[in-house]
Structure 1
Amino acid sequence: MTDRLPATLDIAIIGAGAAGIAAARAVAGQPLTVAVLEARDRIGGRAHTVGFDGVGLDMGAGWLHSADENLLAARAAAEGFTVDRTPPPWERQAFDHEMSRAEQVEFRTAFAAFEDRVAEAAANGEEGPASSLFEAGNRWNPRIDAISGALNGARFDQVSIRDYDAYRDTGINWRVAEGYGRFVTHLGERLPILTACPVTRIDRSGPALKLHTPRGVVEARAVIVTVPTDLIAREHLRFDPPLPSLVEAAAGLPLGLASKLHMTVAGHQDFSPDSQLWGRTDTADTAGYHLRPFGRPMIEAWFGGDIARQLEAEGQSAFHAFATDELVNLLGSDMRRRLAPVVGSMWGADPWSSGAYSHALPGQAGDRARLKAPVENRIFIAGEATAEAVYGTVHGAWMEGERAAREALAALGLDAGPAPGDEEA
């Protein structure tokens, strides 16, 4: 960490989330002056862990997706963190209150058929809202849309067919017991990061890029931008002269909203560890409930898409009221006295994120590639939104930060070395 804003830099990195930290680590050791400028008073971005009763609660990213291929899974263990391989809760419905076992099979069949239709449409070059591939009148369409709220932070009518199909996942999902956010923060320790230093404008009119911040102006030969897409689309980070193509690409990849509420639950022995319930099957405006994560006496509620935005607009207490009503309906009136809120996320209200993770709007599947294209060979964009096959993930953001770092080093005439996995190429 650092407290002083340099006057000049070889590489300025904007944002100290996973992509920014990865980029900073990738250029460390080079004969360059480098600094990471972070708007928040902390690092980690949307990977953020808060402490409670001796444990870490992840407010944003929580899963090592595709863990058998995820480069951060092996690194977490090597850095002394506990990688928990307990199967994810969506593989174990608690009780049979929500859906009977026969209905669970019926839903899984309907969802698989929907994804098959998406894959076939994408293979045929079709594009449009993924919801156009719902089976008319299928009783499970609302539940499929609720799942989209968790996967995309938006309903399927706001999700591109081709972009949704482009996502790849091995189905192996692990967690960091101490907290994914703590792990990402750990990886950022001892890096030259200046917090509480938002960049509001990049002046690219001269031979050096000029980054304007409340602490002053810093000149840089190259800039790696790792802020969320909404900050570019809404021009909270402004380019001068403007870059309309970049802004348009970012606007095609808005951040959906996924919100969490951590609650304690009395009499937790009544619930199977790491199991799940959903509130309703007849509407997408429902929440998912992770019962006893890591075996703890807690419930982690998950709200995605429209319902997350509605509740966030009403204030954090609305999440607890909604969750309580759903769990009372599922499990009985005594749940009202057994639940107590601990902490919740408000990513949509966070001025430095405005949401959780990106989805491509219908017709905008190509915007991930547009967004990551270097500008003048000195401005490089990276983050989960530019990870075309693993968007919305921490490891996707990490790999994109490393990619942008290699491009920046090459632009400055330095050998970036092979990309990870290409050493034998």
Structure 2
Amino acid sequence: MEDQGGFIMSDRVDVAIVGAGAAGIAAARSLASRGRSILLVEALPRLGGRAHTDRIAGVPLDLGCGWLHSAERNPLAALAEARGEPLDRRRSAWHKQLRDLGIPAGEQRDAWAAYERFGEALRREPPPSDRAGDALAATDRWRPFIDGLSSFMNGTELERLSVADFLAYDDAASENNWRLPGGYGAFIVSLARELPIALGTRVTSIAQGRDITLETSGGPITTRAAIVAVPTTMLARGTIRFAPAVDDHLHAAAGLPLGLADKIFLSIADPDSVPPESHLLGRLDRAATGSHYIRPLGRPVIETFLGGAHAQALEDEGEAAAAAFAIEELRHLLGADFARGLTPIMATRWAHEPTIGGSYSHALPGRADARKLLRTPVSERLCFAGEACSPVDFSTAHGAWESGLAAADWIERGLRREKA
């Protein structure tokens, strides 16, 4: 089998990188720049993984990551700027309720104040269980609102969220979140140009011996070293067999499941009826609600976010369910005439993507230390990478990118020692 870069599967390479998302692309670029022969092996028929831009009617829409979080220290923001990519530095509108529709201003202030108190309680007196849900009574008036926020931010509700993990991210993050008008996913994919890539190729086993042998759907690959940069859900499901076994790493992956954050894009028949860069939260009294970003970057669309158990239930209901929910919630907020002018143009179903299985990782209660274990190399010639390996920037593309660079550094050192 020959890939798009001319590589023949029977060839031997220095390093095989399993997974061509942000982590895999970063690792491949780093090793190739040092003169190593590499091969990116990707199960999907496209690059980018959870960084995915689709162009609809000429408009780039990010179906996965869309924000350059902590932009002032984000290496992908710096790389985009160095390459002359346009950057949008405007602040997100998502804390502001357009015209106070559906939610009086006083209730909004009370809700956000309750969230601030919750964060302070987590820091002041974290529950012994490490379960975020144990810091807030299930009967608390604002529990549904805070569960809903957690579902958007973490992909899961408070009951399945480690306090230590959440605080590690929150303490390191800044409020500087920028965008790439040309598409974040498209930018990351552009960084893989001219790299040897085998698309649509599933890796089923990795065996370490004198060389490392990868069994794949396209035939075996022989390599001196390997970096595995696939989602934790796939590792925990045992989609790749390892010999010798790496049970500690797979157990760590199981403690870092992917939460779920889906997007629905709706076109607006009369875009001028709503202001660009505005936002509506569906409700405060239930977690099963949507976060509706209206006309992002001035485009004639609404980008609705759905998270956690609610997003999973809508995925399970069928492909049309999420869009129907979003339109109904917007009908309640903006009126029937406006809702009749909304047309679904794209919806993600990340949990149903068979080679991914979710959106981004969160640590289960008591499992925050799993991130350190997962990123600990198996040997000088085998290690893992991906957003779940990041100590503080997990759930982000730049966290994945930096983990790929760290993995490449480890493997490079091992190859040099082997040669010596």
For normalisation by structure 2, the TM-score amounts to 0.95
Residues 127 and 162 in structure 1, CA contact (< 8 A), matched pair in contact too: no
Q: Are residues 1:71 and 2:56 paired?
A: no
Secondary structure in structure 2 of the residue aligned to 1:91? coil
Alignment partner of 1:60 out of 50, 58, 64: 64
After TM superposition, list the pairs within 5 Å mapping 1:19-34 onto structure 2. 19-34=23-38
Amino acid aligned to 1:173: N
Q: Are residues 1:145 and 2:153 paired?
A: no
Residues 126 and 162 in structure 1, CA contact (< 8 A), matched pair in contact too: no
Match of 1:392 in 2: 395
Residues 5 and 194 in structure 2, CA contact (< 8 A), matched pair in contact too: no
Match of 1:295 in 2: 298
Hey, what's the Cα distance between the residues in 2 that align with 1:100 and 1:184? 40
Hey, what's the Cα distance between the residues in 1 that align with 2:407 and 2:112? 39
Match of 2:266 in 1: 263
Match of 1:422 in 2: none
Moved over 6 A (4+): none
Match of 1:331 in 2: 334
Cα shift readout 1:262-296 (whole Å, capped 9, x = no counterpart): 11112222222111111111111111100111111
Q: Which deviates the most, 47-56 or 73-82?
A: 73-82
Amino acid aligned to 1:226: A
Q: Are residues 1:181 and 2:185 paired?
A: yes
Match of 1:14 in 2: 18
For normalisation by structure 1, the TM-score amounts to 0.94
Residues 212 and 224 in structure 2, CA contact (< 8 A), matched pair in contact too: yes
Hey, what's the Cα distance between the residues in 2 that align with 1:118 and 1:378? 40
Cα deviation for residue 208 of structure 1 reads 1.5
Q: Which deviates the most, 50-59 or 355-364?
A: 50-59
Hey, what's the Cα distance between the residues in 1 that align with 2:255 and 2:269? 44
Hey, what's the Cα distance between the residues in 1 that align with 2:51 and 2:311? 18
Match of 1:193 in 2: 197
Cα deviation for residue 336 of structure 1 reads 3.1
Alignment partner of 1:97 out of 86, 97, 101: 101
Q: Which runs of 5+ in 1 are unaligned?
A: 416-425
Q: Are residues 1:43 and 2:47 paired?
A: yes
Match of 2:135 in 1: 133
Residues 66 and 184 in structure 2, CA contact (< 8 A), matched pair in contact too: yes
Match of 2:277 in 1: 274
Amino acid aligned to 1:200: T
Cα deviation for residue 126 of structure 1 reads 4.0
Secondary structure in structure 2 of the residue aligned to 1:259? strand
Amino acid aligned to 1:360: A
Match of 1:164 in 2: 166
Q: Which deviates the most, 97-106 or 364-373?
A: 97-106
Hey, what's the Cα distance between the residues in 2 that align with 1:291 and 1:414? 54
Hey, what's the Cα distance between the residues in 1 that align with 2:14 and 2:52? 29
Residues 103 and 283 in structure 2, CA contact (< 8 A), matched pair in contact too: no
Secondary structure in structure 2 of the residue aligned to 1:402? helix
Secondary structure in structure 1 of the residue aligned to 2:98? coil
Hey, what's the Cα distance between the residues in 2 that align with 1:93 and 1:360? 30
Hey, what's the Cα distance between the residues in 1 that align with 2:31 and 2:198? 17
Match of 1:235 in 2: 238
Cα shift readout 1:224-245 (whole Å, capped 9, x = no counterpart): 1100001100011221232211
Amino acid aligned to 2:60: G
Amino acid aligned to 1:9: V
Secondary structure in structure 1 of the residue aligned to 2:383? strand
Cα deviation for residue 53 of structure 1 reads 2.1
Hey, what's the Cα distance between the residues in 2 that align with 1:91 and 1:74? 26
Hey, what's the Cα distance between the residues in 2 that align with 1:109 and 1:373? 39
**Could you tell me the percent identity over the aligned residues?**
42
Residues 211 and 223 in structure 2, CA contact (< 8 A), matched pair in contact too: yes
Q: Are residues 1:372 and 2:375 paired?
A: yes
Hey, what's the Cα distance between the residues in 2 that align with 1:314 and 1:325? 16
Match of 1:82 in 2: 86
Cα deviation for residue 356 of structure 1 reads 0.3
CA RMSD in angstroms comes to 1.5
Cα shift readout 1:383-413 (whole Å, capped 9, x = no counterpart): 1001110100000000000000000001111
Q: Which runs of 5+ in 2 are unaligned?
A: none
Residues 121 and 161 in structure 1, CA contact (< 8 A), matched pair in contact too: no
Residues 63 and 180 in structure 1, CA contact (< 8 A), matched pair in contact too: yes
Q: Are residues 1:210 and 2:210 paired?
A: no
Hey, what's the Cα distance between the residues in 2 that align with 1:115 and 1:365? 18
Amino acid aligned to 1:197: T
Cα pair distance change 1:217/1:331, threshold 3 Å:
same
